[in-house]
Amino acid sequence: MQFVEFISTHAPILILAIPLICAFLTPLVSRISDKARNIFVTCAIALSLATAVLLALDIYANGARTYVFGATSPGIVLPSGMNLPIRIMYEVDGMSIFMVFISLIVALGASIYSWAATDKYTGKDRYYTLLLLMVVGMLGMELTGDIFNMFVFFEILSISSSALTAYYIEGDSAEGGLKYMLLSAIGGLFVLIAITLLYSQYNVLNMAALASSIQYTTLDIVALGILMTGFVMKCGAVPLHMVTPDAYTVSPANITAMLVTASQACLYALFRVSFTLFGKSIIENMTYGTVGIILIVIGVLSMFVGVTMALPQHDVKRLMAYHAVSQTGYMLLGVGVGLAVMGDSSQMDAFGYKAMEGGIFHIINHAMYKGLLFLTAGAMLYMTGTRDLNKMGGLGHKMPWTAGFFIIGALAISGVPPMNGFASKLLIYESVYQFSPLLSIIAMVVSILTLASFVKVFHSAFMGPQLSDYRNAKEVPKSMIVGMCVLAAVIVVFSLFPDWAVKTIVDPAVDALLNNAGYVHNVVGGA
Amino acid sequence: MDASLTLETGSGFWTPVLLLLGLVVCIVLVLIIRAFGEKSYKRGTEQTKPFLSGNAEGNKDAMHVRAGNIYWGFLEALKGYYTPTVGAHTGDVTDYLIWYIGVMAVVLGILLVGVLL
């Protein structure tokens, strides 16, 4: 019992420390055997996920948890009389733990999938080390309550993601990795500039302390704009999406699934900055929902440009990458509408809250079905040796499991009932309609085009007669099927019980974003 | 937190389990109707070969409609949209950076004007 209490007390750091320590132990474990290393990495992620579940139970029962490094309370009183939350601390609320679940579930599926998917390649010690560091980067961004610490994890995530994107080396992988690294570095640099602007004025880096101090000066507005643009670029929204298809196309499929959650970690950062860091200032100082309107415009552009660019693609992963851009638009639209009406309680009650529910629910749905779709694309590539849909056909005869998982993912992303994608999109359609009917209609049209696009993929890859080139094709190895199964299982559960998912994990996340004062009070109130 | 099988969407409700039950009933009905069907069907015989009005079946590889042919008409009809949009995706990192700086300038402009108004 004491052990469970200890784990629960230190869960915020253990969630991150487990994969971090295991990342550097991975090359050592590799000396035993490849199998031992594979199991070790997967167990590390599973253990981190179990710790996250333990922490989530506590957060849902007792509210947000603040974990201070090297002290028991956030505040520190110096001999000079200075009393500020200057220590690094993690503040884990409903939104943070929601994102942690997403990152770890997809990482779990992706790591199991990797066992067989990477068997033809060398350098797997480094591959698995980087995979765990990528998990660390995402978790750090999602757990931390310190904006500079968030930047550090943003960089860890960018560097590990870039290296893994270029893992295949051959073909255009290195180019994709380089582009991703360059754009991430530039984005990171601007994020750092914005943090500097805030620090130079308020002398704190803690987000709660910053949120309570921000005066909304011109420099603050510049910082907000720079932070927003940096995170919008990293989450792959139009018109800063162009590196997304370049990187997603060439990376190993399981890494692409994790790149989706990496982009969502940046989406989380965007929402945290908009709602928590600047939320109070936005309500008090901005004209009617300007920041929300910016997110809505970017969201609608992402939805439309993403899906229309997906339609003509014949590279299966590039096609799916454009759909990732398109689906990010739904999240921005839903949450953007919530942000736009945040200052008006009647509109927030009427439709703003539901729009945010839809947007946030769509984040986890998208992570699961897009992750699954990328894994099925990896299975196609594994068996056929090509990503070109023009060269594929008849794979359904030989790869029934992959075809089945593809159908689950495709129906979910297209918002076909009774899949989870339909539930979150329905929330968005109905609530956004009350904000602007036109936006809702665009969202529905985009959904129809998404279905059309995945019908094309299913027809060209899985249907039709068995082609002579793939006469000897067979189903992918078991570990790849299990990896896909993990994500498919979550999709099925969320499809059957959307109300349970919304009330258990989505509503606490929405409440956490809207409760700006509570987030600040947890740190500053106790300082 | 009273989770149920029905999701409230703000303006309506969504109960996926009901839809699934309906689907199950439909499938059972289809199977019952199928059971009354022709039972002399045999796999791998002449019965199951494609019949193309007496013409010989072509090469299987050549008969599959490839991805590049699907939605050809749609894409052709929207050429006016696709030509500039596809053209904007140059693959050149320099262009990506120009977009980045441009969007940042626009966002900053909107935010600053928003406050001034």
**Distance between CA atoms of A213 and A209, rounded to whole angstroms?**
6
- Residue of A393, A417, A433 with shortest CB distance to B16: A417
Chain A hits for B110, Cβ within 8 Å: 290, 294
Residues within 8 A of B (CB atoms), A 198-217 only: 216
- Stretch A69-87: mean pLDDT: 70
Interaxial angle between packed helices A478-496 and A420-435, expressed in degrees from 0 to 180 and rounded to the nearest 10: 50
CB contact under 8 A, A179 and B97: no
Segment (H or E) for A67: strand A65-68
Where do the domains of chain A lie? 1-284, 287-496
pLDDT reported for residue B1: 52
Chain B hits for A430, Cβ within 8 Å: 9-12
Return the number of other C-beta atoms located less than 10 Å from residue B58's C-beta.
Answer: 10
Q: What percent of chain B has pLDDT over 70?
A: 95
> Is A522 within 8 Å of A91 (Cβ atoms)?
yes
CB contact under 8 A, A246 and B64: no
Among the listed residues A105, A194, A191, the one whose alpha carbon sits nearest the alpha carbon of residue A154: A191
Burial class (CB in 10 A: 0-12, 13-18, 19+), A123: exposed
Q: What is the pLDDT of residues A412-421, one digit of tens each?
A: 999 999 999 9
Residue B14's beta-bridge partner residues?
Answer: B7
CB contact under 8 A, A305 and B85: yes
> Is A142 within 8 Å of A96 (Cβ atoms)?
yes
- Stretch A24-33: mean pLDDT: 94
CB contact under 8 A, A221 and B108: yes
Residues within 8 A of B (CB atoms), A 105-124 only: none
Check if A308 contacts B (Cβ < 8 Å).
Answer: yes
Chain A residue with minimal CA distance to B70?
A: A456
In Å, how far is B22's CA from the nearest CA of chain A? 11
pLDDT reported for residue B43: 81
pLDDT reported for residue A358: 95
In Å, how far is B33's CA from the nearest CA of chain A? 25
Return the number of other C-beta atoms located less than 10 Å from residue A511's C-beta.
Answer: 15
Collapse the DSSP code of A265 into the 3-class scheme (helix H, G, I; strand E, B; otherwise coil) and give the result: helix
CB contact under 8 A, A499 and B66: no
- Stretch B111-117: mean pLDDT: 76
Residues within 8 A of B (CB atoms), A 395-454 only: 417-418, 422-423, 426-427, 430-431, 433-434, 452
CB contact under 8 A, A311 and B64: no
Chain A residue with minimal CA distance to B99?
A: A240
> Is A421 within 8 Å of A428 (Cβ atoms)?
no
Lowest-confidence segment of A45-49, A85-89, A249-253, A380-384 by average pLDDT: A85-89
Q: What percent of chain A has pLDDT over 90?
A: 76
Return the number of other C-beta atoms located less than 10 Å from residue A292's C-beta.
Answer: 24
pLDDT reported for residue A203: 87
- Stretch A331-345: mean pLDDT: 91
Among the listed residues A55, A85, A8, A35, the one whose alpha carbon sits nearest the alpha carbon of residue A527: A85
pLDDT reported for residue A81: 63
CB contact under 8 A, A499 and B85: no
Q: What are phi and psi of B45, to 5 degrees?
A: -105, -175
Q: What is the pLDDT of residues A389-444, one digit of tens each?
A: 999 989 999 999 999 999 999 999 999 999 999 999 999 999 999 999 999 999 99
- Pull the structure tokens for residue A181: 């690294």
pLDDT score of A527 more than 50: no
Chain A hits for B9, Cβ within 8 Å: 354, 426-427, 430-431
Cα A137 to its chain centre, rounded Å, is: 12
ipTM: 0.90
Q: Confidence band (pLDDT; 50, 70, 90) for A289?
A: confident
pLDDT score of A308 more than 90: yes
Q: What are phi and psi of A418, to 5 degrees?
A: -100, 30
Chain B hits for A305, Cβ within 8 Å: 85
In Å, how far is B25's CA from the nearest CA of chain A? 15
Handedness of CA A503, A508, A513, A518 (dihedral sign): positive
- Residue of A190, A417, A467 with shortest CB distance to B60: A467
pLDDT reported for residue B60: 81
- Residue of A240, A418, A433 with shortest CB distance to B100: A240
Q: Which of A499, A500, A511 to mutate to test the interface with B (most CBs of B within 10 A)?
A: A499
